[in-house]
Every structure is written in structure tokens, then in C-alpha cells.
Amino acid sequence: MDLNNLKSEAEKILSSGELNPVDKVRGIDQLIKPNFDVSTGLNNRGVKPNQEHKELFTELANSIRQIIRESAWGGSDPISLKEALNNPDLFDDNTWDLLESWIDHDRDLNWNYVNLVQFNLKNNKKSDGSGFWLSPQHFRMAAIIDTVGRELQEDTPVGFDLDLAKSLYKNENQIPQAISNSISTLRHA
């Protein structure tokens, strides 16, 4: 499919009032996969993407990022991690505030098209498939909380290790190896 047709079909999917957020992202994925080998960054004809292709993927990533965030937040403005996880008794208010202060939603801009689509369709759907559970940074922090929480031992006075949580969040990798087990098991209930 030529680039103009791809753009036109993508716009139809993204602007559809009949598709939920997950279906929109899945639709874009199904549109792109037959036309590009996204795993290697090459299109199916073995030609490296040109500037127009790169611009298309950037536009799609920006649209998908917005769809995921708005689905998770219930609008365009971020909600708190405490509200997103809907488990207020997990920490005291001071700890929630500290965790919230580390979250930088601009880090979402580091997720490219492939990362956004593959990660969110695999890991971040609501249990009923109607939308996305968390924004990328809230999901990342939830996985860190889960990972650090696994380190707690029931019969010791040691509490949640905030220093470890902070160092994992500040890691430049979007998905540090240390949280990969939590990423693979953490799901919306």
C-alpha cells in the first residue's frame, strides 16, 4: 500500500467513533504490519524507511500515545498514580506524594511506535478490552512497585525500599531488566 493510502486508512481508524482505544491501536498495528517489517525497521520490500515513512511513524506514535493516555486518564490531563492504581491503602499519603513526584510523563515521548503498540497491546489493556489501564509511566511505576514489593519479607521490619524504587524509575531504560518479571505478570483485574 502506498504511503498516502496508509495515511488515509490510519486516519479513518484513529478518528472512528465506533472503535474503542484498544481496537484503534490494534487496527493501526494490523494496517502497518503487512506493509512494514516493524521488528527490523525495514519495509517489506527490504528498503529502509525514508523521511516520509519516519514522519508517518512519528505521527502514529504521537496519536497512539494520546489514545493510551486519554483512555487511562479518562481525559487529556494526567491523574495521580494513587488514583490510577485505585489502591489508596497501599501506601500512606506521604509515600504516594513522593512516588508521584518522580513520575515524568514526558518520558512517554521516548517510546517509539513499535514500543507503544507492542507493549500496550500485550501488557496494558483493561481486563474487558475496552481501553488501556494505565499511562506508560504509571504502568512503569506500578511494575516498579510490584518488583520492590516482591523483595519484602513478611517477618522483617524492613519496609518498602523507596531508594530502590527511585533508582529503578530513574533508570534510563524504559523497561529495566529488574522489572521485567512484573511487566510480564502485572495486569488489570
Question: Mean pLDDT over residues 2-27, rounded?
Answer: 96
Residue 156 binned pLDDT confidence (cut-offs 50, 70, 90): low
Give the burial class of 132: count Cβ atoms within 10 A of its Cβ; 0-12 exposed, 13-18 middle, 19 or more buried. Answer: buried
Give the burial class of 168: count Cβ atoms within 10 A of its Cβ; 0-12 exposed, 13-18 middle, 19 or more buried. Answer: buried
Domain boundaries, the chain: 3-185
**The pLDDT value given to residue 158:** 56
Is the pLDDT at 36 greater than 70? The verdict is yes
Estimate the crossing angle of helix 113-123 against helix 21-32, to 10 degrees.
Answer: 130
**The pLDDT value given to residue 154:** 56
**The pLDDT value given to residue 129:** 93
Is the pLDDT at 142 greater than 90? The verdict is yes
**The pLDDT value given to residue 1:** 78
**The pLDDT value given to residue 111:** 86
Q: How far is CA 5 from CA 10, 71, 117, in A?
A: 8, 27, 20
Q: How far is CA 166 from CA 29, 94, 132, 141, 163, in A?
A: 33, 15, 25, 9, 5
How far apart CA 52 and CA 113 sit, in angstroms, is: 15
- Taking the complete model, does pTM exceed 0.85, yes or no? yes
More confident residue, 131 or 152: 131
Which of 9-23, 110-124, 175-189 has maximum average pLDDT? 9-23
More confident residue, 8 or 157: 8
Residue 136 binned pLDDT confidence (cut-offs 50, 70, 90): very high
Residue 178 binned pLDDT confidence (cut-offs 50, 70, 90): confident
Q: How far is CA 151 from CA 52, 84, 95, 96, in A?
A: 47, 23, 17, 19
How far apart CA 41 and CA 22 sit, in angstroms, is: 23
Pairing assessment for the beta strands 36-37 and 42-43 based on DSSP bridges:
antiparallel
CA 27 to chain CA centroid, nearest Å: 17
Question: Mean pLDDT over residues 31-39, rounded?
Answer: 83
